Amino acid sequence: MTTTASAPIETRSDSESLAGAHDIASTEASLRRFLHGLPGVDQVGAEARAATLATRSIKTTSKAMAIDLAISMIDLTTLEGQDTPGKVRALCAKAMRPDPSDPTVPSVAAICVYPDMVAVAKESLGTSGVRVASVATAFPSGRAAMDVKLADVGAAVRDGADEIDMVIDRGAFLSGRYKEVFDEIVAVKAACGAAHLKVILETGELVTYDNVRRASWLAMLAGGDFIKTSTGKVAPAATLPVTLVMLEAVRDFRDATGRQVGVKPAGGIRTSKDAIKYLVLVNETVGEDWLDPDWFRFGASSLLNDLLMQRYKMATGRYAGPDYFTLD
């Protein structure tokens, strides 16, 4: 859809589209021309659209369905300096069975930890189907030498990470060194091997929606499997309009190349109400092809308990206090 005169990616198969991508990224100038040829984003209009969708009223059966879907899309996250193997094991237990007293609650999509906790998480989760995601590339700032970043990724993959959440070099992006960012993503993707690559744009530092759209395309062209809003360490983290712009980007990218890319808003999504707004946004922007944990994730920690509380309320008609839900 969004292909412009300077965007000759019309091919449909994966290998061919990648060839197209590498043509676009063959020089700094051609990459810049492509990214700056993308249609602009009008800030007022994008925010108004997101605000309108946020007024959707999701009730009864739709709400029950949305709550379970949201639970199944969570990357249950702990990214603290004080994380311990014990804490990670506890989180894994919760990921597999979010409510110990109710086996009908689906498990979450993945656990998201620092690389040094990957082995612990992998062992705890076993064959449950819950995946292990690890942040890497000098998360959250991305300020390290290239070989250090790749070693970071390599360690996480070696320990069994199924998914790598890398951060882009925002300094390079903001100063217009797009090729550098592109090459870095390509290198990280290669280091990932079979692991899926999520590319964190840190939209709170990119500031404008035009930048968000360009960074989204850059990450997709370089081979990212997912584009992710934020590290959660920078405010603002995920917002509805930013996610809207990223969803439009993955929609247009699939139209142009045939390859589907996932989206993960992360940080600041704490309530069921928020989560449902994101699901509405997905539903009405890219449709049901993305309403699946393989294509849409929430990076969150406290969201899960709120979803469980709402689920319990819907089942019983009563709210249970926070004491009735496990801390992690």
Helix or strand run (H / E) with residue 306: helix 303-316
Three-state SS across 214-258? HHHHHHHHCCCCEEECCCCCCCCCCCHHHHHHHHHHHHHHHHHHC
165 annotated active-site = yes
Task: Report in angstroms how near the CB of residue 172 gets to another protein at its nearest.
Answer: 25
For 51, 93, 214, 216, 251, the CA distances from 211, given in Å and listed in that order, are 21, 39, 5, 8, 17
- Select which of 122, 198, 264, 277 is catalytic: 264
- Select which of 165, 169, 252, 306 is catalytic: 165
Alpha-carbon distance 226 to 294, whole Å? 9
Which residue, 68 or 183, has its beta carbon nearer to another protein? 68
What residues have CB less than 8 Å from 128, skipping those under 6 apart?
95, 96, 107
Which residue, 64 or 172, has its beta carbon nearer to another protein? 64
The encoded tokens of residue 196 equal 């899926």
Residue 242 backbone phi and psi in degrees, to 5: -60, -45
- Select which of 149, 179, 228, 277 is catalytic: 228
Which residue, 22 or 56, has its beta carbon nearer to another protein? 56
Residue 312 backbone phi and psi in degrees, to 5: -60, -40
Task: Report in angstroms how near the CB of residue 314 gets to another protein at its nearest.
Answer: 12
Which residue, 295 or 325, has its beta carbon nearer to another protein? 295
Closest by CA position to 185, among listed 172, 209, 167, 203: 167
264 annotated active-site = yes
Q: Write the burial class of residue 180 (CB in 10 Å: 0-12 exposed, 13-18 middle, 19+ buried).
A: middle
Task: Report in angstroms how near the CB of residue 121 gets to another protein at its nearest.
Answer: 24
In DSSP terms, which residues pair with 111 in a beta bridge? 76, 132
Task: Report in angstroms how near the CB of residue 250 gets to another protein at its nearest.
Answer: 13
CB atoms near residue 57 (< 10 Å)? 8
87 annotated active-site = no
Closest by CA position to 181, among listed 193, 171, 191, 196: 171
**Given the rule CB under 8 A, which residues bind another protein?**
1-2, 39-42, 44-46, 48-49, 52, 55-63, 65-66, 69, 248, 279-280, 283-284, 288-292, 295
Task: Report in angstroms how near the CB of residue 210 gets to another protein at its nearest.
Answer: 9
Task: Report in angstroms how near the CB of residue 86 gets to another protein at its nearest.
Answer: 34
By the 8 A CB rule, do 233 and 140 touch? Answer: yes
Which residue, 60 or 316, has its beta carbon nearer to another protein? 60
Which residue, 12 or 158, has its beta carbon nearer to another protein? 12
Catalytic positions: 165, 228, 264
